[in-house]
A and B are shown apart, each in its own frame.
Chain A
């Protein structure tokens, strides 16, 4: 079963604009990760934020985490056509010594219009 939901399901913006995607989850987590997937192929890790962190930056990416609301957001600034992809949040829980794998949401499909 899916841990949570990304919002929106689909987002279309103009090149150069900022894109914001949100993720909600249901259970306590150790960390939350964001991945990108191009055209139904393999996923690429973007950024990991631990439960004791509130904000993290990596290049044009900014991730926030609010554990009290069980939510996270991914901001992509100055978007480019190459950013067109599906974006997934994934959580790692505390149970089973970390052997539960990643629990993914359904993803946000981002389209950058040139």
Chain B
């Protein structure tokens, strides 16, 4: 069973640029969530994808967007990067049946984004 993988591991961008982060979910998991973790803080929920549609969103502006593909892998896109976007971006997958993701989530190792 393959776990959650993310790419790239590290990324350096400059303010105003755009970035795409990628995530492959764990085998059999159809739901992918993205989190932003600033240094010294807990992760904050960005959004969740289920059946290739955004299914829930945290308090993040529209310049944070995503995609989910038929194989359940996902992308996080961030436009017009700001210095405060520097963080560890975590992807998590989980199984979902019926109503809700009330199960444990399986996290990838994260992508460390630095915005200069």
A residues whose Cβ falls under 8 Å from a Cβ of B: 1-2, 30-31, 33, 35, 40-45, 48, 88, 90, 92, 96-107
Closest B residue by C-beta to A96: B56
Q: Is the CB of B100 within 8 A of A43?
A: no
The residue from A43, A92, A99, A105 contacting B90, defined by CB atoms under 8 A apart: A43
Could you say which residues of chain B place their CB within 8 Å of the CB of A99? 48, 50, 55-56, 100-101
Q: Is the CB of A101 within 8 A of B88?
A: no
Contact of A43 among B43, B45, B56 (CB under 8 A): B43
For chain B, the count of residues having a C-beta within 8 Å of the partner chain is: 35
**What distance in Å separates the Cβ of B109 from its nearest Cβ neighbour in chain A?**
4
* B2 sits at the interface (CB 8 A): no
The 3 closest A-B pairs by CB, nearest first: A98-B100, A99-B56, A101-B45
Residue in B closest to A104 when the chains form the complex, CB atoms: B42
A109 CB, min distance to chain B CBs, angstroms = 9
Min C-beta distance of B85 to chain A, whole Å: 17
Known: A48-B104, A98-B101, A103-B45. 15 other contacts (CB 8 A): A1-B59, A2-B41, A30-B102, A42-B4, A42-B90, A44-B107, A45-B106, A48-B103, A99-B101, A100-B56, A100-B58, A102-B35, A102-B43, A102-B105, A106-B42
